[in-house]
Structure 1
Amino acid sequence: MSDSAPLVEYHGNCHCGAFKFTFKAREITQAKTCDCAICSKNGYIWGQPDGDSFTVVKGDENALVSYEFGKRALAHKFCSTCGSSVMVRWKIDSMGKAALINIRTVQNLDSTKLPLGDVFKGSTFGDAYQPPAAVPTGPVPDGSTVYHGSCHCGAVAYTLHSPEEITSATDCNCSICWRNAAVWAYPQTTQLTFRGVPDTVTEYAFSSHKAHHCFCKTCGVSVYTYFTDFERMEGKTALNLRTVNGFDLGSLDLKKGNGRELKPLYEVPA
């Protein structure tokens, strides 16, 4: 797109509405992604504000949880209440105050319809990501497939003994799942062994309060959801397959969940 193209003003917010912002940019016409570990686990889609047009209209950027790792060139920022990963800030002097915005948090932008642009190969920079140690469990039932996974920082980790290989999952477009980029499988809760739960997770529930979305307090990655008073999900935990070590999401039979249309419809909190 030409640099002379007009700027569009975008508005966004974390899910709970504690943090709201605006920025101007050339019209967003592609989904720009990165294959590094944190971007993959959070399913970021990136947009870059024009100049210093990023403006906070509610809340305080400094109140967002900031997660840094590796060479600490970037601060990944998420809401401590709902876990929405909103943005990153460069921390090196040559980049000034440059920011990238996770456009999954932008209002009235159907990023599901954006064509995928070139994937930035962030995985080739710095040291390769090392998953945390596997969570030990008891004997593995015969015929089971074992999966290990975690948030990015490793404070929350798990082992799953699945009676069969995971070949399908649900990609839900509801207001919270889309922001978290969650890709869900629904194993029996008894098949999961966690480390760091519940001490290192924050639970976020809204609307019916039947689904409790759990994300790491340190790095903000959405790991799992558990359910209360929800007969269809009794005895099950929703596991975000983005957090499974070495899992090939492209191999899945991905079912689209249209949670966006479920009543009551999500409205941006005042």
Structure 2
Amino acid sequence: MNTETSEIQGSCHCGTVRFQVRLSEGLMTARRCDCSYCRMRGAVVVTASLRDFDLISGEEALSLYQFNTHIAKHYFCSRCGIYTHHQRRSDPHQLGINASCLNGVSPFDFEEIPVNDGVNHPSDRVSRGGSEVVGVLRFVPSNR
């Protein structure tokens, strides 16, 4: 896997939602979050600027989910149900892109994924600043 990949296309499972994105730091920004929503969603996300995301097709099929503060915007395909991206609460000028939706990328390509503290969101911690890493998720392939 080339972690320096920056410009890449992606799509949902059924291919209705298609996009092109320029990643801020390639796949080096891969991470998970432990907030209630991300725990259930289970996606590995990478970072892009809002202006570096181009929706190629499927805008009519995108559904929006918001909760709690209604600042973050989580998008998913209404046909196949796959989460494709979200506009971040911590920085609304950034997107979290589902790495599994990127062409040729799998969450199992990453040996370790940092897990950010989303339970204690950085926007709720005025005195402590940015999001803290609370752990690491590892994938250790079995010898088959």
Map of 2:119 onto structure 1: 123
* 1:43 shift after superposition: 0.5
Alignment match, 2:131: none
Q: Say if 1:11 and 1:20, in contact at 8 Å, map to a contact too.
A: yes
TM-score normalized with structure 2 length = 0.72
CA-atom RMSD in angstroms: 3.0
Structure 1 96/36 Cα, relative in aligned 2: closer, same or farther at 3 Å?
A: closer
What is the CA deviation profile of residues 53-77 of structure 1, one whole-angstrom value per residue up to 9, with x for unaligned ones?
A: 11111121x6411111111110111
- In structure 1, what residue type is equivalent to 2:97? I
SS at match of 1:48: strand
Q: Is contact 1:30-1:115 (8 Å) kept?
A: no
How many residues matched? 123
Greater RCO, 1 or 2 (C-alpha within 8 Å, sep 6+): 2
Letter in 2 for 1:98: Q
Q: Distance in 2 between matches of 1:51 and 1:105?
A: 17
Q: 1:107 — aligned with what?
A: 103
CA-CA distance at 1:101 after TM superposition: 0.7
| Higher-Rg member (1/2) | 1
Residues 31, 116 of structure 1: 8 Å contact kept: no
Q: Residue 89 of structure 1 contacts residue 98 of structure 1 at CA under 8 Å; is this kept in 2?
A: yes
Partner of 1:84 in structure 2?
A: 82
Check 1:91–1:63 CA distance in 2 against 1; reply closer, same or farther (3 A cut). farther
SS across alignment from 2:119: helix
Please state how far the C-alpha of 1:79 moved relative to its aligned partner.
Answer: 0.6
Percent of matched pairs sharing the same residue: 25
2:43 matched to which residue of 1?
A: 44
TM-score (norm 1): 0.40
Q: Deviations over 1:176-226 (max 9, x none)?
A: xxxxxxxxxxxxxxxxxxxxxxxxxxxxxxxxxxxxxxxxxxxxxxxxxxx
For structure 1, the residue ranges without an aligned partner over 5 or more in a row are: 1-5, 128-249, 257-270
Q: Which stretches in structure 2 are left out of the alignment for 5+ residues?
A: 125-136
Matched residue, 2:12: 14
Cα contact 1:24–1:49 (8 A) shared by 2: yes
What do residues 30-52 of structure 1 show as CA deviations (whole Å, max 9, x unaligned)? 64100111111110111111462
